[in-house]
C-alpha cells in the first residue's frame, strides 16, 4: 500500500517536475514471430493430417493398392491468467503536489505489455530445449531430428553445429530450408522471409550487411551477394526481450504455427476501501502461447 510515508517526497515543494517516471517503449515485437488470435474456451487442441505420397507401379490387370491418410496425435494447451494491482491511500493522493503518486492506468498498462513481451520471448528462449513448449512430435521448436508422421526420415531445422550470425550461419539455415520435408518425407518449398535476432549491435550490423550489401560481405573476392539477390524481402526483427542475445531464427510466415491467443483481453478495475480510505486498482488478462508444428522455423543457438 502506498502511504504518505512511502512517497513522502511528493508532499513537499522543491522537486523538479521531471520524475523520469516513463520511457518510450519499443513497438510491439511478439506479433513479429507469433501469430495472434482469440479463443473462447480455456483450452485449445489441434492435430495434423497427411495424405498420400507416391503412386505405385502396377502391371496389366494388377489390383490397385489402397493406403489410408495418417492422422497425427492431439496436442492441447491451456491459457494462463495474469493480474497485478496496487493500493494507495486517499491522503497520499490528496497531498501529492506533483500528481505522480497515482498513475494506475499507465503503470498497469505498461506491466501488461511487458508481461506479453517477456512471455512471448520465452518461446524463443525455450526453442532449443523444449522445457516449456513442445510441438506435435514432442520435441523443441528447433531440433536436429524432427520426426514425421508418415516417414522414417527425420528433418532438421537447427544445424548440427550452432554458428554465430554470419554468412556461413545464414547459409546453413537456408540449406536446411531447402531440405525441408512434409509429413511423407517429400520435399516442400520453404521460403524464409523474416530474421529474428538478439538485442546486440554486432548481430544487427551483420544482418544488415548480409541481406543489404550488393557485394558479399566479409570477403575479398568482391563477388555478388547471392543471399541478398535471392532474399531481397527479408525482414530483420530485433528481439529486446529474449534472454539470449546470440540466438537467431528465420521464419517462413506461410508455415509459421506459433500463436499468441487471447482468452480475455486486458481489463482494468478499481474499488475503494472505506475502512482504510484507500483506492485499489487492478488489471487482469488471460492468454495462451503455443505452437503445434515446427515447420516454418529455423533456429541457431551459438554460445
Q: What is the pLDDT of residue 119?
A: 97
How sure is the predictor about 197, in pLDDT bands with cuts at 50, 70 and 90?
Answer: very high
Q: Return the C-alpha torsion angle 169, 176, 231, 127, nearest 10.
A: -70
Determine the pLDDT at residue 20.
57
Q: Which pLDDT score is estimated for 99?
A: 67
Sign of the four-CA dihedral 140, 143, 147, 149 = positive
CA distances from 153 to 148, 168, 180, 186 (A): 7, 26, 11, 10
Q: Which of 296, 303, 289, 299 is nearest to 133 (CA)?
A: 289
pLDDT mean over 249-260? 97
In which band, very low, low, confident or very high, does the pLDDT at 10 lie, cut at 50, 70 and 90? low
> Does residue 268 have a pLDDT over 80?
yes
Q: What are phi and psi of 147, to 5 degrees?
A: -95, 155
Torsion angle, alpha carbons of 12, 15, 17, 18, to 10: -130
Task: Please give the angle made by the CA atoms of 62, 64 and 65, to the nearest 5 degrees.
Answer: 125
Residue by residue, DSSP assigns the chain as -B-TTTTGGGGSS---S------PPPPP-GGGTSEEEE-SSSEEEE--EE---------TTPPPP----EE---EEEE-EEEEEEEEEEHHHHHH-SSS-S--HHHHHHHHHHHHHHHHHHHHHHTTTT-SS---TTSS-SS-S-EE-SS-S-EE-SS-SS---SSHHHHHHHHHHHHT-B-TTS-B------EEEE-S-HHHHHHHHHHHH-SBPTT-SS--B-HHHHH-TTPEEEE-SSSS-SS-EEEE-TTT--EEEEEEEEEEEEEEEETTTTEEEEEEEEEEEEEES--TTEEEE---
| 197 close to 207: Cβ distance less than 8 angstroms | yes
Has residue 14 got a pLDDT over 60? no
In contact, 109 and 73? CB cutoff 8 Å: no
Please state the rounded mean pLDDT for residues 139-150. Answer: 97
Which of the four pLDDT bands, split at 50, 70 and 90, describes residue 214?
Answer: confident
Per-residue pLDDT at 15: 52
Buried b (16+ CB within 10 A) or exposed e, 153-166: eebbbbbeebeebb
Please state which CATH number belongs to domain 30-51+68-300.
3.90.1690
Rounded percentage of the chain residues whose pLDDT exceeds 70: 89
106 vs 22, residue with greater confidence: 106
First-to-last alpha carbon distance for the chain, in angstroms, is 43
d(CA 228, CA 67): 43
pLDDT above 60: residue 46: yes
- Kindly report which listed range (29-33, 99-103, 132-136) carries the lowest average pLDDT score: 99-103
Q: Domain locations in the chain?
A: 30-51+68-300
Does 117 score more than 80 pLDDT? yes
Q: Quick one: pLDDT at residue 12? A: 53
Q: What average pLDDT does this structure show over 186-206?
A: 94
Whether residue 227 contacts residue 174, with contact meaning beta carbons closer than 8 Å, is answered with: yes
pLDDT at 224 over 80: no
Model confidence pLDDT, tens digit, residues 58-107: 999 999 999 999 999 999 999 999 999 988 888 877 776 656 666 777 88
Residue 5 pLDDT > 60: no
Instruction: Dig out the grid coordinates for 21 from the structure.
Output: 517516471
Count of C-beta atoms within a 10 Å radius of residue 125: 19
Per-residue pLDDT tens over the stretch 177-186: 999 999 999 9
0.95 surpassed by pTM: no
Amino acid at each position: 500500500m502506498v502511504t504518505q510515508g512511502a512517497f513522502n517526497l511528493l508532499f513537499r515543494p522543491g522537486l523538479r517536475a521531471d520524475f523520469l517516471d516513463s520511457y518510450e517503449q519499443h513497438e510491439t515485437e511478439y506479433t513479429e514471430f507469433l501469430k495472434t488470435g482469440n479463443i473462447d474456451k480455456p483450452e485449445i487442441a489441434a492435430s495434423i493430417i497427411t495424405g498420400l505420397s507416391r503412386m505405385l507401379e502396377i502391371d496389366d490387370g494388377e489390383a490397385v493398392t489402397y493406403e489410408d491418410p495418417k492422422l497425427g496425435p492431439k496436442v492441447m494447451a491451456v491459457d494462463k491468467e495474469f493480474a497485478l494491482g496496487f493500493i494507495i491511500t486517499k491522503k497520499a493522493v490528496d497531498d501529492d503536489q506533483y500528481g505522480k503518486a497515482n498513475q494506475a492506468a499507465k503503470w498497469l498498462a505498461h506491466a501488461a505489455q511487458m508481461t506479453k513481451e517477456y512471455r512471448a520471448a520465452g518461446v524463443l528462449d525455450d526453442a532449443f530445449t523444449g522445457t516449456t513448449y513442445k510441438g506435435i512430435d514432442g520435441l523443441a521448436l528447433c531440433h536436429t531430428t524432427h520426426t514425421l508422421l508418415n516417414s522414417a526420415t527425420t528433418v532438421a531445422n537447427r544445424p548440427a553445429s550452432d554458428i554465430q550470425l554470419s554468412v556461413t550461419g545464414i547459409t546453413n539455415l537456408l540449406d536446411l530450408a531447402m531440405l525441408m520435408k512434409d509429413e511423407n518425407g517429400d520435399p516442400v518449398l520453404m521460403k524464409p522471409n523474416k530474421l529474428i535476432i538478439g538485442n546486440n549491435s554486432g548481430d544487427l550490423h551483420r544482418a544488415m550487411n548480409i541481406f543489404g550489401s550488393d557485394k558479399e560481405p566479409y570477403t575479398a573476392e568482391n563477388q555478388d551477394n547471392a543471399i541478398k539477390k535471392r532474399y531481397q524481402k527479408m525482414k530483420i526483427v530485433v528481439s529486446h526481450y529474449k534472454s539470449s542475445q546470440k540466438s537467431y531464427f528465420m521464419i517462413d510466415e506461410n508455415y509459421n504455427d506459433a500463436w499468441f491467443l487471447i482468452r480475455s483481453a486486458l481489463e482494468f478495475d478499481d474499488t475503494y476501501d472505506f475502512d482504510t480510505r484507500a483506492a485499489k486498482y487492478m488489471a487482469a488478462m488471460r492468454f495462451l502461447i503455443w505452437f503445434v508444428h515446427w515447420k516454418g522455423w529455423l533456429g541457431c543457438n551459438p554460445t
